[in-house]
Amino acid sequence: DWGPSYYTKLAMSAAGGRASDVAAMHLSRLAGYAPGGLVDAFDLDLLAEYGVTSEDFAPAVWSRTQYEGTVYAIPLDVHPFIVFYDKKAAEQAGLLDTSGELAPMGSPEALLEAGRALAEATGEAGILFGHVTDTAQTWRLFAGLYAQTGAGFDLPDGGPPRIDTDAAVRVVTLMTQLFDGRTNPNNLDYNGAMAAFTNGRGGMAMLGEWELPTLKKSRIDLGAAPFPQVFDKPAVYTDSHSFVLPHQDSPDPARRREAHRYVAQILKQSLTWASAGHIPAYQPVLAEPEYAALDPQSSYADAAKVAVLDPPNWFAGAGSNFQNRMCQPLQSALLGNTTPEKAVRQMVREADTLLRQPNPVA
């Protein structure tokens, strides 16, 4: 299991000082491990011997690899929350540019109009989004749109949270307008949205790029793009599978060197990983002609340049209780059970409650 059970095992093995040589971690979880000494620092000089330096990564992602100026994680990929679309429906809806790619939208109104145009083109739903009972989906959608407003979502230790409630209400209001239960369904679960899209009952789906292998098995003429910018600032919600060195009390120097060599070699071979939909974090792979030929992967590669992760706090990140607690009021708003204003107030309360809890591994 990739979520809480995995991260509990990783923390326990590191706390015991006898962990594996290398482990995988979502970069958004680093703030819960580095401060407590559960992961060891990388030797950047040693990595450079094997041809990997900080200049090989997009600054938006590399900036999250550090704690107090020391690098504790090396990104393998960037995996953003994006849009997949039916090219035929999008063309009929007038949403493609001259090169056949999804054209920029630029405003909330344009996104709403895109949903209406896609619904008319398909004769069914416009934009599909599965969120009911899901512990991450509505947070991914909210967090990306909120980052586009330029507002900060800061969770300082001890609280209170610093959240622009006006910007948050704007975002939740747009979410409820977009998924109105008419043009675009508001009550789908994850599997329901996937099934509807793969069976041609919608023109666009908001999903993580990790669903690409499943979607390519469908009969859709599949296109993909970074999540559309509709507010003032380009931003795409994302995370990153990264390599870490779980803490060892007495690491063997030869094995630690081999761990660095292993990480470097896998990064250089990450074109294979890209076939599953993930954007290679190692920039030289992105520059290869073989990556440019990947369709539709290369269409959303620019998402890595404007990547936005969860706030760097010990309780946040992929598979966390924080995401679950943010999703509950957001889901309630989409289902029409509460107002955007009340949903945002509950999100602030939930964040404040978590901030008052001590970090168990600090």
Taking the C-alpha atoms of residue 245 and residue 251, their distance in angstroms, rounded to an integer, is: 10
pLDDT at 283: 97
Residues 297 and 193 in one domain: no
Cα 261 to Cα 280: distance, rounded to the nearest angstrom: 18
Question: What is the mean pLDDT of the segment spanning 230-259?
Answer: 97
Q: Is residue 174 part of a domain?
A: yes
Contact 34, 361 (CB under 8 A): no
- Distance, in Å, from the CA atom of 101 to the CA atom of 6, rounded to the nearest integer, reads 38
Q: pLDDT tens across 77-100, in order? A: 999 999 999 999 999 999 999 999
* Residue 360 resides in a domain: no
Rounded CA separation 239/241 (Å): 7
| Mean pLDDT, residues 163-187 taken together | 97
- Per the structure, how many domains does the chain have? 2
Query: Do 244 and 230 share a structural domain?
Result: no
CA–CA separation, 362 and 355 (whole Å): 14
Of residues 321, 329, 331, the one with CA closest to residue 349: 329
CB 237 within 8 A of CB 144: yes
Same domain, yes or no: 230 and 342: yes
* 334 in Cβ contact with 263 (< 8 Å): no
Q: Which of 276, 272, 301 is nearest to 287 (CA)?
A: 301
pLDDT at residue 362, as a whole number: 66
In a domain, 161, yes or no: yes
Q: What is the pLDDT of residues 187-197, one digit of tens each?
A: 999 999 999 99
123-135 tens-digit pLDDT:
999 999 999 999 9
Q: What is the pLDDT of residue 127?
A: 98
**Cα(83)–Cα(202) distance, rounded to whole angstroms?**
12
Residue 54 domain-assigned (yes or no): yes
Question: Hey, CA dihedral for 5, 9, 15, 20, is it positive or negative?
Answer: negative
Across 220-225, average pLDDT? 97
Residues 157 and 284 occupy one common structural domain? no
Distance CA 132, CA 139 (A): 12
Distances (CA, A) of 92 to 87, 108, 220: 9, 21, 14
Q: Indicate whether 362 belongs to any domain.
A: no
- Please check whether residues 329 and 226 belong to one and the same domain: yes
Strands 125-128 and 202-208: parallel
CA 237 to chain centre: 5
Residue 296: DSSP 8-state: T
Residues 187, 319 within the same domain: yes
Which pLDDT does position 2 carry in this prediction?
77
Per-residue pLDDT at 3: 82
Residue ranges in 133-252 assigned as alpha helix (H): 137-148, 165-178, 190-198, 212-215
Residue span of the structural domain in which 195 resides: 84-234+313-355
Q: Inform me whether the pLDDT recorded for 1 exceeds 80.
A: no
Contact 141, 327 (CB under 8 A): no
Q: What is the pLDDT of residues 137-167, one digit of tens each?
A: 999 999 999 999 999 999 998 999 999 999 9
Asked if residue 361 is part of any domain, the answer here is no
Q: 239 pairs with which residues across the strands?
A: 79
Stated pTM of the model? 0.96
Taking the C-alpha atoms of residue 328 and residue 331, their distance in angstroms, rounded to an integer, is 5
Q: Are residues 214 and 277 in the same domain?
A: no
Q: How far apart are CA 145 and CA 236, in angstroms?
A: 8
* 121 and 98 fall within a common domain: yes
- pLDDT band at 17; cut points 50, 70, 90: confident
> What does the pLDDT read at residue 197?
98
What's the mean pLDDT when you consider all of the chain? 96
Tokens of 174: 């747009």
CB atoms within 10 A of CB 152: 12
CA dist., res. 123 & res. 304, Å (int): 34
Q: Are residues 33 and 159 in the same domain?
A: no
Average pLDDT over residues 354-358: 94
Is residue 200 assigned to a domain? Answer: yes
31, 63 contact by CB (below 8 A): no
Residues 216 and 330 in one domain: yes
The three-point CA angle 87-90-94 to 5° equals: 135
Mean pLDDT of all residues in 192-205: 97
Does residue 188 sit in the same domain as residue 322?
yes
Q: What share of the chain is helix, strand, coil (3-state, %, to 5)?
A: 45, 15, 40
**CB-CB contact of 297 with 212 (8 Å):** yes
Q: Are residues 275 and 130 part of one domain?
A: no
Residue among 227, 319, 215 at smallest CA distance from 277: 215
CATH of the domain at 349: 3.40.190.10
Least confident residue range of 3-12, 181-190, 302-311: 3-12
Which residue from 173, 153, 131 is spatially nearest to 340, judged by alpha carbons? 173
Percent of the chain scoring above 70 in pLDDT = 100
What pLDDT does residue 21 have? Answer: 97
